[in-house]
Every structure is written in C-alpha cells, then in structure tokens.
Amino acid sequence: MVDWTPGYREWAPPGPLSAGVACLWVGIQPETAAAPTLVLPDACTDLIWQHGKGAFVAGPDTGPAPVCMPPGTVLAGVRFRPGAGGSILGVPLRELLDQRVDAADVSPAIHRQLPGSLAPETAMRRLTALVGEALAGRPPDPLVLQAARVLGRPWARTDGIARDLGISERQLRRRFDAAVGYGPKSLSRVLRFRRFLARLDAAAATGAAADLAGIAADAGYADQPHLTRESVRLAGLPPAALARARAAVSA
C-alpha cells in the first residue's frame, strides 16, 4: 500500500523490474509553499507522472537542477538504473541530457496511457506495468550495465574498460550515449559523487560533524581539493555548504 501523504518516499521495485529499475517513488508537496529542491546528478533517468498534467521524462543530469513544485503537487515515478533508461524508453538518452521532456515527445503510447486525470494509485500501477512491458521487450544493454557496475566501485578506472568488455572505445562510447546519456568518464564521476553523498548523509544521520577529508577518501577522491572541484561542478556548492544544505533539508 502506497502512502500518499505529503513527503517523498521510495521503495524497491518488484522482482521482474529489478534488472532495469532502481526504485519506485512518490513525491507529494504539502499545501503550503515549499522551498525549491536541488536535484543532483545520479546517473539515472526517471519516468514521472504528475497529477493534473500527465507523464514526462527527467533525463540524466550533468549538474544541479533546482525544482520548485506548486503546493499540492502529486508525483509518481519510476527511476531507471544507470545504463537501463535508454532501452526501456526506446530513445537514446543523449537526446534527453539535462532535460525534462513531455512523454508525448518520447513515447506517444506512454503519453496516452498516463493522462493527468488518473487517480494516483492507478497511475502508479500503470507506470509499473508499462515499464515491465518495455523491459521485457527491450532489455538493457548488458555490456553497459556491466560497465556501470564496475564504475560504481571506489577507485574504478575507465582506462581499459572497453578492452575488458571486448569492444572498441568508439563502440563503448556509442552504446553509453544511447543507454546512459554520456560517456564512461562522466558516469564514473557521477557515481563517485553519489558515493560521497551517501557517506555524507550517513554521517549527518548520526548527528556528528562530517569528516570531509575522510569521506572524500572513502568515496574515491584523490584528495579534498579534488572533491571540492567535483562538488562545485556537480552540485553548484562546495562540500561544506552542500553538507549544511542537506542537513537543513533532513532536519
């Protein structure tokens, strides 16, 4: 049973969807005005339904994307794993980079089946069913998924990954552009940054001051200046300011 009270919640997908779906989620804005939310790159793509408007796709981000939803906004979404969104949606993700695109421009079938007039519970069921059908007919590129798993490890290197997969650098880049939206080096940077954010949030949950140097090392950064450059580039804030901003949101 989905909780449709105000707030953001996510949960694991049903087993058949787990190969291509990171999570299912809902986001309900309260009836009072809320501050903008800063969406940070996560190497994922989302298919989102909005009550009263219909479906749209949030393409892969390469930088911070401020989002401000009107009070009472109801969203239901499916978040695709890194490397899975392109095949499931049937469109090269390079075309959706840093964009929010109406579903009618991506898949007329999805647009027709997810009108904004649906009840939220019905929209969530249809989202799940549509993604399941697409995943069965257009499974993700297994080589890209394998590469994404490798690049998700601390200290993973992009050098030689094409050779290890048995394909050329050019072919790997072409397949990444279609399945991820950008190349292996960009994916490695984003996944490393997500590791940093996960460790930052875990430290904040304990109430202790974040050891940014230690977190940077654990996440795979060469040093704290390296982390600072990447944080400014991917989040628009240096690490200390980002830590304060995330702690304020979760407080």
Is the distance from CB of 199 to CB of 28 less than 8 angstroms? Answer: no
**Measured distance CA(42)–CA(141) in Å, rounded:** 19
Residue among 8, 35, 39, 36 nearest 23 (CA): 8
Are 231 and 63 in contact by the 8 Å Cβ rule? The answer is no
The amino acid present at 155, given as its one-letter code, is W
Note the CATH number of domain 141-251: 1.10.10.60
What is this structure's pTM?
0.94
For residue 235, give the nearest of 44, 100, 67, 38 by alpha carbon: 38
Phi and psi at 250, nearest 5°, equal -80, -10
pLDDT at position 36 over 90: no
Q: In which band, very low, low, confident or very high, does the pLDDT at 251 lie, cut at 50, 70 and 90?
A: low
Query: Which residue reads 């397949």 in tokens?
Result: 175
75 pLDDT above the threshold of 70: yes
In the chain, where are the structural domains located? 7-137, 141-251
Arithmetic mean of pLDDT, 178-207: 93
Mean pLDDT of 199-215: 85
pLDDT at 250: 66
- Looking at residues 224-234, what average pLDDT do you find? 95
Res 208: pLDDT? 73
**pLDDT of amino acid 111:** 96
CB 243 within 8 A of CB 212: yes
Residue with the larger pLDDT of the pair 63 and 208: 63
> Does pLDDT of 176 surpass 90?
yes
Q: What is the pLDDT of residue 154?
A: 84
User: What percentage of residues in the chain have a pLDDT greater than 90?
Assistant: 80
pLDDT of residue 204: 83
pLDDT, tens only, 112-163: 999 999 999 999 999 999 999 999 999 999 999 999 999 998 888 888 899 9
Percent of the chain with pLDDT over 70: 99
pLDDT tens for 49-63 read 999 999 999 999 999
